[in-house]
Amino acid sequence: MIPRYSRPDMVAIWDPQTKFRIWYEIEAHACDAQAALGVIPKANAEAVWRAKDVTFDVARIDEIEAVTKHDVIAFLTHLAEHVGSDDARFVHQGMTSSDVLDTTLNIQLVRASDLLLTGMDRVLAALKTRAFEHKDTVRIGRSHGIHAEPTTMGLTFARFYAEMDRGRKRLVAAREEIRTGAISGAVGTFANIDPAVEDHVCAALGLIPEPISTQVIPRDRHAMFFATLGVIASSIENIAIEIRHMQRTEVLEAEEFFSPGQKGSSAMPHKRNPVLSENLTGLARLVRMSVVPALENVALWHERDISHSSVERAIGPDTTITLDFALHRLAGLVEKLVVYPENCLKNMNKFKGLVMSQRVLLALTQAGVSREDSYRLVQRNAMKVWEKGADFKTELLADAEVTAALTPAEIEEKFDLGYHTKHVDTIFKRVFGA
């Protein structure tokens, strides 16, 4: 976790304080269920709730752990200090540390997912606003980095919206993947604890009981979770790369917002660097790097080995914190992105009308000119644009062989940008609904 790439809400989820709070709730709910089953006295179960408003003392727990060398026991010892050791004696009965640890991890991941969804919602809202704002801002579409045909800036935002919206759906599914809990004992057989306890704890904490666990909740769930975050990160990179391209000195169709006070801005006014989107490119790599170890974590030995644990201690917080930060950085970037419609037009007209050559070629063919001749006609006028900076339309209108096939009005019509934008509304309807 790198402070400068962290937001406090997500950091809090991974705070020891939060962890102990969740441990406590699991233990307390489990006591309720055990009392209901008659396994432990009701009074003792109730007593555990006395610590309901306690802020657990992390330093104290660490101190105890230094002696017991066992984190859960340390916590239980500390809990007894609050509840009273007599009442606390039934806490955790029949349970295994993993029951608490694995269920807690999943609760943290669910909460992290909720925050990530909020972040995605902000990104989506920003993209939608900017898409409608620039629905008709014409811009050259590019394949291979080379001018192709006109499109609009709004379509660019709209496709990122659609992509992020898919990401959101994937995240909802990923959240569901890890929304399970397990209180099933040392090897998952419920030998020492009734499945009813698991049912109760899970219901109380918004989880689904893991249908079949071993000592641990199966790690294919977590692999799917982190793989999904990796895909979302790649979508962030996709948007970031587009913005970096738009901000290139030679392109400058859009620019990251640069606050007037930011030093250096006006002595070198061209030197405004797309540092946020470059940073997002790097953050995407960081999020993605958790995918492979998460996949490697799936194949545990028999009912569990602990190789996954150190990996999750790192990627659990780091990946969610980084993605959360990236989403909000992206949202802010999109919200405030400065778009330069006039530069969009200027770039499109760099080769004075040449991007329309394809349309002219088609029109000539449809007007009955042979393919070969159509090509020759387009080519000879295109070369004048390319070599001498002439204007394509002007040249065509002055070419007798061209005007023999197409009227001036027909030629003019081929340069109408409306031709390219006529289906923008249709596409917007597909993306944003009616």
Give the nearer residue to its own copies in terms of CB position, either 173 or 338.
Answer: 173
Give the nearer residue to its own copies in terms of CB position, either 57 or 149.
Answer: 149
Q: Of the ranges 18-26, 108-116, 294-302, 402-410, which one interacts with its own copies (CB under 8 A)?
A: 294-302
| Residues contacting residue 258 through CB under 8 Å, at least 6 positions apart | 265, 272, 338
| 147 carries an active-site annotation | no
- Do 10 and 324 contact (CB within 8 A), yes or no? yes
Rg (CA), the chain: 31
- Do 30 and 200 contact (CB within 8 A), yes or no? yes
Q: How far apart are the C-alpha atoms of 26 and 45, rounded to whole Å?
A: 12
Cα-to-chain-centroid distance, residue 337: 19
Residue 36 in contact with its own copies, rule: CB under 8 A:
no
Q: Which of 11, 298, 367, 397 binds its own copies (CB under 8 A)?
A: 298
Residue 302 in contact with its own copies, rule: CB under 8 A:
yes
Residue 147 in contact with its own copies, rule: CB under 8 A:
yes
Residue 58 in contact with its own copies, rule: CB under 8 A:
no
In terms of Cβ atoms closer than 10 Å to its own Cβ (0-12, 13-18, 19+), residue 342 is exposed
- State which of positions 368-387 bind its own copies (CB under 8 A): 375, 378-379, 382-383, 385-386
Write down the least CB distance from residue 137 to its own copies, Å: 14
Residue type, 409: A
Catalytic residue among 85, 265, 310, 370: 265
Number of residues located near its own copies, criterion CB under 8 A: 142
Three-class DSSP category at 152: strand
Residue 430 in contact with its own copies, rule: CB under 8 A:
yes
| 265 carries an active-site annotation | yes
Q: Which of 36, 54, 203, 311 binds its own copies (CB under 8 A)?
A: 311
Three-class DSSP category at 113: helix
x-or-dash string of contact with its own copies, 105-134, rule CB under 8 A? ------------------------------
Q: How far apart are the C-alpha atoms of 23 and 31, rounded to whole Å?
A: 12
Give the nearer residue to its own copies in terms of CB position, either 282 or 408.
Answer: 282
Write down the least CB distance from residue 29 to its own copies, Å: 20
Q: Of the ranges 29-37, 48-56, 241-249, 405-413, which one interacts with its own copies (CB under 8 A)?
A: 241-249
Residue 57 in contact with its own copies, rule: CB under 8 A:
no
Write down the least CB distance from residue 216 to its own copies, Å: 9
Give the nearer residue to its own copies in terms of CB position, either 52 or 366.
Answer: 366
Give the nearer residue to its own copies in terms of CB position, either 124 or 240.
Answer: 240
Partners of 338 in the beta sheet? 255
Q: How far apart are the C-alpha atoms of 170 and 164, rounded to whole Å?
A: 9
In terms of residues, how long is the chain? Answer: 434
Residue carrying the six token digits 């540390």: 97
Three-class DSSP category at 387: helix
Buried b (16+ CB within 10 A) or exposed e, 392-404: bbebbeebeebee
Catalytic residue among 144, 259, 270, 302: 144
In terms of Cβ atoms closer than 10 Å to its own Cβ (0-12, 13-18, 19+), residue 1 is middle
Torsion, Cα of 266, 272, 276, 279 (10° steps): -130
- Do 381 and 402 contact (CB within 8 A), yes or no? yes
Write down the least CB distance from residue 291 to its own copies, Å: 6
Cα-to-chain-centroid distance, residue 416: 38
Give the nearer residue to its own copies in terms of CB position, either 118 or 309.
Answer: 309
Residue 103 in contact with its own copies, rule: CB under 8 A:
no
- State which of positions 192-211 bind its own copies (CB under 8 A): 192, 195, 209, 211
Residue 180 in contact with its own copies, rule: CB under 8 A:
no
Residue 357 in contact with its own copies, rule: CB under 8 A:
yes
Closest by Cα among 281, 290, 207, 288 to 238 = 281
- State which of positions 209-228 bind its own copies (CB under 8 A): 209, 211-215, 218, 220-221, 223-224, 227-228
Could you list the active site residues?
A: 144, 265
